[in-house]
Chain A
Amino acid sequence: MHFALTETQTELKAAARRYLSDRYPADRIARLAAAGAGGAHHTAHDTEGWAELERQGWLDEDLGMVELALLAEEGGRALHPAPWWPTAGLAVPVYQAARSERPGPATLADGTSTCRAEPVARGARRGAGDCAGGWLLDGMVGCVVDPQVAAEILVAARTAGGVALFGVPPYGHGVALTGRAGIDPLRALAGVELTKAPARLLVGAAEAGRLLAAIADRSTVLLACEAVGVADRALEMAVDHAKTREQFGRPIGSYQAVAHLLAESYAELELARSLTYRAACLLDDVRHGRVDGAGSALACAVHAGRRAAVQVCEAAIQVCAGIGVTWEFPLHRWYRRALWIDAYAAGRPDPLTTIAEAVLG
């Protein structure tokens, strides 16, 4: 057991933090969020940053889960305004399985129960697994992360042979995106409507089911890591404020009522961080066939990460008090992300239910 980051991992984390804090100071995040708050046709992303991410290796296919976890955590700390999570968390494994070049940032629309795919050549209906030609997709997926800035939307859709994975260009024929104002403008969701949209087959029905399950594990763990980063930054803001803000002639952080709230926030954060690192290690072990199944361990990370993000942000707002509830103070941007993660993950199997099943049967 050596449950500590290796030197290389520590360096990776530090480099990611340097890059993100140089490029995205809190006031820039606020400006980007304001631009994105317009909804449908605006995006809060710094689209110019993508090439740099690719160059720095943020999307390398050989990154281990712990490395990805650290990048997700730093991304949460910075509210990284790039479609890194949908690309690295959701899309990269699909391109890997398909042995296909990724055209740029990408996202995944889970149309397992709402989209269907038909081969172009009518009358020659074959299973998705053995049809290399063109396909047409029909259906609607209500909540897709960042499709507006993706180079390709991956769609899980039903075929005669089962669910398979396809790629469609976001602004191609038969694809309509409906952007929505979101609680977190830095990560808006959009509806994707497909009407005989031409698509390329990436992963056939034989493999897609297992792959989608692996993607669900990987992406929820990365979101939990991001949540830890959100909590980390919120705590840092609150601690900075408590050190400098004076009332009754003393910094407010010297009052135990304030100090102890922050100490409990720290405890919440560190316990969650340990669980996300453990989940990441475990997913690496699963990938290398060293263990099978990690359900309740992943659920621990998801539950603790979400809760830490929300609770620490709320404690931080309380400590920052009057200034903390203003629009100008940047803290609400992180709180919004915490609420986004909490709500988004709520659509998945409830982690406490998963754990109770593992413990009590």
Chain B
Amino acid sequence: MRLGDSEDQARFRAQLRGWLRAHVPPAQSGAPRVWEAEELRSWSKALWHAGYAGITWPGEHGGRGLSPAYQAIYAEESALAEAPDHVNVIGLNMVGPTIVRYGTQQQRARHLPRILSGETIFCQGFSEPDAGSDLASVRTRARQHPGGYQLDGEKVWSSYAHLADYCLLLARTNPDAPKHRGLTCFLLDMNVPGVQVRPLRQLSGDNDFNQIILTGVVIPASSVLGEVGDGWRVALTTLAHERGTFGITLTARLSVQLDRLVQTAIAVGAERDPVVRREIAELHVALHGLRFTGYRALAALERTGEPGPESSVLKLRWSQANQRLSALALRLLGAKGTIDGPTAFWGGYWQHMRLRARANSIEGGTSEILRSIIAERVLGLPRGRS
């Protein structure tokens, strides 16, 4: 057991840091900058040219074939440098590896190079109004149609759908089969007639999630990913890829947020307040607990190909810490926390974070579902539902 990078990892990290320093505008103090859609697209292309897209993808599919530790280093350094998200994070980290595993030769050739280069942006069409935590009950229908399928239904909570060129869609091909068996995954071209994307406005006022309405959308049979009826397994593969190094990203972001909280405490003159000091110290413990648990999970992933059982606590406890941090930050502003908008402290950054953070314990698996997963799969307690 050791702390610190191997020699090769240290070299990779140093190069990456240098590259990020040269390419990301220096972080401003206070609220982070907001990136425009065009900036995000060109950032993805820049990453590709520098070799930071597809770090863990196999070499034969255009990746660098490196182990997850390198992806984790990228996730960590990129978050610490406050680089923008890769707009194609779903394509790179979730859809791409799933196409590598289940895709046909044709699908691989068509999609993989474009995902890497940032030309094709992917979104994910899984959740529905009546299929949230119970994802296997999706109702979007895919009916046989000459030469392919006709899609009808509604998807919600789809990030990046307003920018996406393609969607990895989970739909029901056989309503008579048991619910986990009647599903199929599709690679849906977002530009075909009948696909409509509408912003879904959140309680924070943000529009970064979308609703996708599918009305009589006709797609060729070649858009099926994996086997017909095997969509549940394909979808689970996608979700498993999300778990890999995502915890490291979350922790690095929390670390940046903790720095902002400290800056705020100093700016409002609360840094000597013993209650504030105690709360910040507790958040520091939470952050580092998550950080080193993430490294443990990563070490297990490196060795066995599966993140260790301890990885199951990362998202659960990250959401709690981020919510607590945002709540404390707004509290530090005192009565000024009631003001919002451009004249507020940091332009209303903490007001926004305080509201936005409520989604943290819901998006990507609610805390209730995560606790049930820990209880059943890690602790081996009997299932609570039949």
Q: Which residue of A lies closest to B316 (CB)?
A: A267
Give me 27 A-to-B residue pairs in the complex whose CB atoms sit less than 8 angstroms apart, sorted by A's number. Answer: A1-B9, A1-B69, A5-B1, A9-B1, A239-B379, A253-B379, A254-B384, A256-B384, A259-B375, A260-B372, A260-B375, A263-B316, A263-B375, A267-B316, A267-B374, A271-B313, A274-B289, A275-B285, A275-B292, A277-B1, A278-B292, A285-B3, A300-B288, A352-B277, A352-B281, A352-B282, A353-B277
Q: Does A177 contact B (CB under 8 A)?
A: no
Q: Does A264 contact B (CB under 8 A)?
A: yes
Given contacts A6-B1, A271-B313, A274-B296, contact A352 B380 (CB under 8 A): no
Does B288 lie within 8 Å of A278, measured CB to CB? Answer: yes
Contacts of A303 in B (CB 8 A): 281-282, 285
For the complex, what is the distance from the CA of A257 to the CA of B133, rounded to whole Å? 18
CB contacts under 8 Å to A, within B298-319, are 298-300, 302-303, 310, 313, 316-317
Q: Does B189 contact A (CB under 8 A)?
A: no
Given contacts A300-B284, A356-B280, A360-B280, contact A253 B375 (CB under 8 A): yes
Q: Does A296 contact B (CB under 8 A)?
A: yes
Q: Which of A266, A267, A285, A300 has the most CB of B within 10 A?
A: A267
Query: Which of the residues A2, A300, A353 comes within 8 Å of B285, measured between beta carbons?
Result: A300
Does B1 lie within 8 Å of A281, measured CB to CB? Answer: yes
Does A254 lie within 8 Å of B382, measured CB to CB? Answer: yes
Number of A-B contacts (CB under 8 A): 157
Does A243 lie within 8 Å of B372, measured CB to CB? Answer: no
Q: State the Cβ distance, A5 to closest chain B Cβ, in Å.
A: 5
Does A259 lie within 8 Å of B292, measured CB to CB? Answer: no
Q: State the Cβ distance, B109 to closest chain A Cβ, in Å.
A: 36
Q: Does A66 contact B (CB under 8 A)?
A: yes
Given contacts A243-B380, A277-B1, A355-B281, contact A3 B288 (CB under 8 A): no
For the complex, what is the distance from the CA of A273 to the CA of B313, rounded to whole Å? 12
Q: Does B293 contact A (CB under 8 A)?
A: yes
Q: Does B6 contact A (CB under 8 A)?
A: yes
Interface residues of A (CB under 8 A from B): 1-6, 9, 66, 235, 239, 242-243, 250-251, 253-256, 259-260, 262-264, 266-267, 270-275, 277-278, 281-282, 285, 296-297, 300, 303-304, 351-353, 355-356, 359-361
For the complex, what is the distance from the CA of A172 to the CA of B285, rounded to whole Å? 45
Q: State the Cβ distance, B253 to closest chain A Cβ, in Å.
A: 17
Q: State the Cβ distance, A271 to closest chain B Cβ, in Å.
A: 3
Does A266 lie within 8 Å of B1, measured CB to CB? Answer: no
Q: State the Cβ distance, A57 to closest chain B Cβ, in Å.
A: 19
For the complex, what is the distance from the CA of A262 to the CA of B382, rounded to whole Å? 13
For the complex, what is the distance from the CA of A1 to the CA of B6, rounded to whole Å? 6
Q: Which of A235, A351, A352, A360 has the most CB of B within 10 A?
A: A360
For the complex, what is the distance from the CA of A277 to the CA of B295, rounded to whole Å? 11
Q: Which residue of A lies closest to B2 (CB)?
A: A2
For the complex, what is the distance from the CA of A352 to the CA of B279, rounded to whole Å? 9
Does B1 lie within 8 Å of A66, measured CB to CB? Answer: yes
Does B281 lie within 8 Å of A356, measured CB to CB? Answer: yes
Q: State the Cβ distance, B273 to closest chain A Cβ, in Å.
A: 10
Q: State the Cβ distance, A361 to closest chain B Cβ, in Å.
A: 7
Does A270 lie within 8 Å of B280, measured CB to CB? Answer: no
Given contacts A270-B310, A281-B1, contact A262 B379 (CB under 8 A): yes
Q: Which residue of B lies closest to A260 (CB)?
A: B371
Q: Does B131 contact A (CB under 8 A)?
A: no
For the complex, what is the distance from the CA of A215 to the CA of B252, rounded to whole Å? 33
Q: Does B286 contact A (CB under 8 A)?
A: yes
Contacts of A351 in B (CB 8 A): 281
Given contacts A275-B285, A300-B285, contact A4 B384 (CB under 8 A): no
Does A2 lie within 8 Å of B262, measured CB to CB? Answer: no
Q: Which residue of A lies closest to B282 (CB)?
A: A352
Q: State the Cβ distance, A349 to closest chain B Cβ, in Å.
A: 12
